[in-house]
Amino acid sequence: MPIAVLLAGSVLWGLFWWPLKALAGAGVAGSFVQLVAYALPALVLAPWAWASRAAWQNRLGLLALIALLGGWANASFASALTHGNVVRVMLLFYLAPVWTILAARMVLAEPITQLRLASLALAMAGLAFTLGGPQLFAAPLGAIDLLALSSGLAFALTNIAIRAAHDPGGGGALPEIVRSVAVFAGCALLSAGFMLVRDEGPPAPAAATLLALAALGLFWVLPGMLATYYGVARLEAGKAAILLLAELVVGVVSAVLIGGEHLGLKEAVGGTLILAAAVLEARSEDAPASQEAPA
């Protein structure tokens, strides 16, 4: 069951670009889409989160950090998907394992093993290919590239914040619903900030638009997030990480087949290297520490 649920969530997130592009094509600003699509699940889950307030009322700082990082990860990822090339955005986002390795070393003092060092090298090579190969330094990165990269970084830091909360003195893990509400609320607030910065006003309140936004939030974003948390909490870290790669595969393949995007040689090579890096990192999560020599 956890495997099936996690794969279902990965399919939803892999196809998330589709409704975002469709609504943007209909003239609905991407930031407003995100605001509604994330605020509704937060409101739906809020009563359950409030009922478990004993688990988080003394940990508001950690909860605010998760809301900020998780909110940025989702808001910037959705913005990049709405306005950018889906294949490129997905590949740049999936450098998250690289940032996790580095952040875990700096924050949690986790060792960088030889296996992780190899995955780090593969991922950086994949990044170089994805961003243009030899022409990488010919021009500065675009705003969409930076959004995609920052979303993966924020996603990795969110996971580190959650793992840090598991320390014996940290008060135990936050309930999944509480973490979900924090991320949803953070994304809604940051999306509202995007609207102000871009001077994007809400669209005319057409019934069909409001219905589509409600459906996206309640029947796509909400089950996608809960499915991911459910599966990750019940599977070995390495196995879950490998299964989550289905999101990247679904996103890239669907963007080529449905969205009419082009998968060039550089993107294909870069994506293969990033996939290989993620698989290596997942194996390092499952490997006993005694079998890995620190680099």
Range of the domain at 103: 2-291
Report the number of distinct structural domains present in the chain. Answer: 1
How far is 80 from 85, CA to CA, in rounded Å? 8
pLDDT > 90: percent of the chain: 25
Helical ranges in the chain per DSSP H: 2-14, 17-25, 30-51, 60-83, 86-93, 96-108, 114-130, 143-164, 176-198, 207-216, 222-234, 237-257, 265-286
CB of 285 within 8 A of CB of 236?
A: yes
pLDDT tens-digit profile of 81-129?
Answer: 998 888 888 888 877 777 777 777 777 677 777 877 787 788 778 777 7
How far is 191 from 185, CA to CA, in rounded Å? 10
Does the structure show a pLDDT above 60 at 288?
no
Question: What is the largest distance, in Å, between two alpha-carbon atoms of the chain?
Answer: 61
> Cα-atom radius of gyration of the chain, to the nearest Å?
19
Q: Identify the CA nearest to 158 among candidates 292, 18, 14, 62.
A: 62
Given this model, what pLDDT does residue 171 score? 57
Backbone angles phi, psi at 113, to 5 degrees: -80, 170
**What is the 8-class DSSP label of residue 261?**
-
pLDDT tens-digit profile of 233-266?
Answer: 777 766 777 777 788 888 888 888 888 887 777 7
pLDDT tens-digit profile of 4-32?
Answer: 898 899 899 989 999 999 998 888 888 89
**What is the 8-class DSSP label of residue 113?**
B
Rama region for 206: left / alpha / beta (φ>0; ψ in -120 to 50; rest) = beta
> What pTM was computed for the model?
0.82
CB of 272 within 8 A of CB of 135?
A: no
- The number of beta carbons lying within 10 Å of the beta carbon of residue 206 is 12
pLDDT tens-digit profile of 258-274?
Answer: 888 877 777 788 778 87
Given this model, what pLDDT does residue 151 score? 92
How far is 69 from 258, CA to CA, in rounded Å? 31
Specify the 3-state DSSP secondary structure of 234: helix
Does the structure show a pLDDT above 80 at 293?
no
Q: Give the mean pLDDT of 175-197.
A: 90
